[in-house]
Amino acid sequence: MSDEYFYGVTLSSSHKSETWDPEAKAEYPRSNKLLIRQALLGPDAEPDELNVVQVETMCLQESIKIPVAILKVGETRQARLDIEFPDAPVTFTLIQGSGPVHLIGQHLLGALVEEFEDMEEMEEEMLDEEEGDDSQFKDEDDEEGEGPKGKKAKMSNNAKGKAPSPKKNAKK
C-alpha cells in the first residue's frame, strides 16, 4: 500500500529549525521521500527584511548546507521550489530574518515513491523516443541530401536566395 501526505512546516524567530526524519520514527517503516513544492512568506513578515531558508541534507557521502529560498515583503513573497529529498534527515533552517516562512510539499511513503520514480522514468523514455523520432527524420533528410540531387538543390541558390535562371546554367 502506498500513501501520500501533505507536508508543511513554519519557520519563524521562535521556531528557527525543523528536521524531517521519518525513518527515526517507528511509525514509518517504509521508504520515504519528501517533495518541497513552495516556500511562502507569511502575511505578518517584517517589511524590508530578507528571510533566508537553508536546507541541510546528505549529498553522496557528505552533508551539504545550501540556501533554497530568499523571500522579502514587497519583492518576493513566495518561491516555487520543486525539490526532492529521497533520503532523511533533512533540516530546514531560517538562517536570516524572523519569518514566518511556510514550506509546503508532499511526504511520499512506500510504493508511491516507486510509482513517482516510475513516472519520471516513463517521461524520460518518452522524451528519448521523441528525440529518436526526430533523429530518424534527420537521417532521412541527410540520406536525401547526400546524393548529387540534394547537393544540386542546395547549391543552386545564389547569395540572395534566388535560383539562377536556366540560361546561366546552360552556358556553364
> What amino acid occupies position 169?
N
Cα first-last separation, the chain: 78
Structure confidence at residue 156 (pLDDT):
44
Structure confidence at residue 153 (pLDDT):
45
Structure confidence at residue 150 (pLDDT):
44
Question: Residues near 61 by Cβ (< 8 Å), separated by ≥ 6?
Answer: none
Structure confidence at residue 108 (pLDDT):
87
Q: How far apart, in whole angstroms, are the C-alpha atoms of residue 165 and residue 97?
A: 74
Written as nine digits, the cell of 135 is 533523429
Tens digit of each residue's pLDDT (9 = 90 or more) over 92-137: 999 999 999 999 999 988 754 455 556 667 777 777 776 665 544 4
Structure confidence at residue 72 (pLDDT):
94
Structure confidence at residue 62 (pLDDT):
87
- pTM across the whole model: 0.61
| Residue spans of the chain under pLDDT 70 | 1-2, 24-30, 111-120, 130-172
